[in-house]
Amino acid sequence: MAYLKYFNQPISNSPLSNLENYYKLAKEAEINTYSIEDVDLLEKENGFSIDKNWLNSLAFQTQIVVKKSELNYAHGRVLYSVLRNYLSNLSQENKTINIVETGTARGFSSICMAKALSDSEFEGSICTLDVLPHFKKMFWNCAADHTKGDQNRHDLLNDWAHLTERYIIFIQGFTKHILPKIGLSRINFAFLDGAHSYKDVMFEFNTISKRQKNGDIIVFDDCNKKHFPGIVKAVNDIEKKMNYSVKLIRNKNTLRDYAVAKKL
């Protein structure tokens, strides 16, 4: 019963815009995504960058939406580059890792991380949590609402089934209920993009950090004081009080910054 409201077209009862507008938004989002100096530098430092055409194709299906704020999907670039670099530093005998994501949405971020695993020839699992159901048909506020109609997330991501079926476990539920119950003794890598309050972010961090070792990573989305002060406060406290180093990645175009925390 707790999830009932998420089964009745939780995003929209019909497409929110026409197809031409989604194409227009895609062009604007691509410019925003590929005009961020900090992300360019991150990719150069790490030695890894995601294929641009591949990313744009995935983003058109999963990131180009109608909303008030400017669009960009640079977090896909960040996640891929940081994860590829992390994997490159693991020993050859440790070729399987565990990843956790909070806030699945349409599945963009988890698929970017799955591609990083695949391109690195690693096995592993990506447990991604969201209140939205995986097999319920709905409109997703994306171009596919026009080309395919309402569909479930499984079908929305059909073009990337080779990655979702190999790596990703989609879990529906509230993070505070599900995350502590995930049966992983170690979480090598995590992406936090669920609830944005200080309390929720610290809960997710504390739950995950207990299962991390030196060098393991947590990436925070939306680390911007103007819009999400709770996330910024949490990241600052983690850097000052916890045994983690923090690297901030600024995004001046859309005020959507990221933080990469590494356990020391």
pLDDT tier at 239, thresholds 50, 70, 90: very high
Establish if 5 belongs to a structural domain: no
Res 252: pLDDT: 75
Alpha helices in the chain (DSSP H): 19-33, 37-46, 52-62, 74-88, 108-119, 144-147, 153-156, 161-167, 175-178, 198-209, 229-241
Kindly state whether residue 2 falls inside one of the protein's structural domains: no
What DSSP string describes 103-162? --TTSHHHHHHHHHHHHTT-EEEEEEEESS-SSS-B--SSTHHHHT-SB-HHHHTGGGHH
CA separation for the pair 56, 58 (Å, rounded) = 5
Q: Closest by alpha carbon to 114, among 70, 79, 62?
A: 79
- For residue 251, name the pLDDT band (cuts at 50, 70, 90): confident
Whichever domain contains 52, its CATH number is 3.40.50.150
Residue 209 lies in a domain: yes
CB 39 within 8 A of CB 251: yes
| 240 within some domain | yes
**pLDDT tens, position by position, 82-133:** 999 999 999 777 789 999 999 999 999 999 999 999 999 999 999 999 999 9
The parent domain of residue 253 ranges over 11-263
For residue 106, which of 69, 71, 148, 65 has the smallest C-alpha distance? Answer: 65
216: CB partners within 8 A, 6+ apart: 186, 187, 188, 189, 262, 263
Looking at the domain assignment, is residue 4 inside a domain?
no
Summarised one tens digit per residue, pLDDT across range 22-72 is 999 999 999 999 999 999 999 999 999 999 999 999 999 999 999 988 899
Q: How far apart are CA 188 and CA 254, in angstroms?
A: 29
Separation CA 182–CA 228 (nearest Å): 27
Has residue 69 been placed in a domain?
yes
- Residue 207 DSSP symbol: H
Domain assignment present for 1: no
Question: What is the signed CA dihedral for 75, 79, 82, 87, rounded to 10 degrees?
Answer: -170
Quote the number of domains for the chain: 1
Identify the DSSP state of 210. Answer: T
DSSP 195: -
Does residue 101 fall inside a structural domain? Answer: yes
Is the whole model's pTM more than 0.85, yes or no?
yes
3-class secondary structure, 171: strand
Residue 146 half-sphere exposure toward CB, CA atoms < 13 A: 13
Q: pLDDT: is 188 or 147 the higher one?
A: 188
Q: Does pLDDT of 228 surpass 60?
A: yes
Which residues does 241 contact at the CB level (< 8 Å), separation at least 6?
Answer: none
